[in-house]
Amino acid sequence: MAKEFGYCSSGCTRPQFEKQIDNINSRYPNAIIIKEVYSNKVSDRTELHKLLSQLESDDVLIVNSLDRLSRDSEEVLSYYKTLAERGVKLIFLHQPYMNTELYASVYEDMVSRTSDSDKEVIRESLYRLVEEQINRILAQSWEELQQRRGHMRESYEQARQEAKQDGQGKVKKYESRKSFMVKELIRKYNQNFEGSMNDVQTMEQIRNDMGTLSRNTYYKYKKELAVG
């Protein structure tokens, strides 16, 4: 009997996967959820590789977006080809036009109107299109991440320049870039300020935006933000 699996990944050391899990469960309530913490320095995803080795024909693998599998285009294409050839349905909730089922449908339609000798040519042509789409999606995802980080750096530099001098021309003490950026994100995301997330969710989101962030550092900056 075919099974449904939902794969959720995060770069956090103490990950919470509520958003990814909720998205998957809302459409596939029977999906078996697999969670994975990965390192930006290590591409090997143990849980994902275990899952891939277990999937059989007609099984379904659901992920929120393509970059949850990997940020490396060659890895994603390799997963895509492997699953498509094994008859596993790979579903991207945020990019449904990349679902392997759609690729299979187009392939079967084109093959039905050509000779058997053209099958491999059609297959490779479709995979080239898939590869182009993967490269575009991952590049856009990376660009959006860098833009968010760039906006935070710009905001910090602007605030730093404005805080340099007081009315008497004395140089003011200003906080570090990291402190400023984390506080801005806490203010944006946390339910005690302008957002709707609890502390665990806020920490996860900040880690996704900036990279590593310890629990002690988070609460230190949150306390400073609350005080003043």
Number of domains in the chain: 2
Tell whether 44 and 109 lie within a shared domain. Answer: yes
Tell whether 134 and 183 lie within a shared domain. Answer: no
Confidence grade of residue 37 (pLDDT, cut at 50, 70, 90): confident
pLDDT digits (tens, 9 = 90+) for 63-106: 999 989 988 899 999 999 999 999 999 999 999 999 999 988 88
Tell whether 12 and 101 lie within a shared domain. Answer: yes
Tell whether 179 and 110 lie within a shared domain. Answer: no
Contact 106, 132 (CB under 8 A): no
- Average pLDDT taken over every residue of the chain: 83
Tell whether 19 and 101 lie within a shared domain. Answer: yes
Q: Is residue 213's pLDDT more than 50?
A: yes
Mean of the pLDDT values across residues 16-23? 82
Residue 106 lies in a domain: yes
Range of the domain at 96: 4-138
The residue ranking higher by pLDDT, 188 or 159, is 188
- The whole-number pLDDT of residue 162 equals 66
User: In terms of C-beta density within 10 A (0-12 exposed, 13-18 middle, 19 or more buried), how is residue 223 classed?
Assistant: exposed
Mean of the pLDDT values across residues 1-15? 79
Q: Is residue 228's pLDDT more than 80?
A: no
Residue 74 lies in a domain: yes
Q: Domain containing 115 — which CATH number? A: 3.40.50.1390
pTM reported for the whole predicted model = 0.65
Q: Which two tokens stand for residue 185?
A: 């994100």
Pick from 177, 144, 141, 186: which is nearest to 158 by CA?
A: 177
In angstroms, the CA 45 to CA 79 distance is: 12
- Alpha helices (H) along 112-214: 119-162, 177-189, 199-210
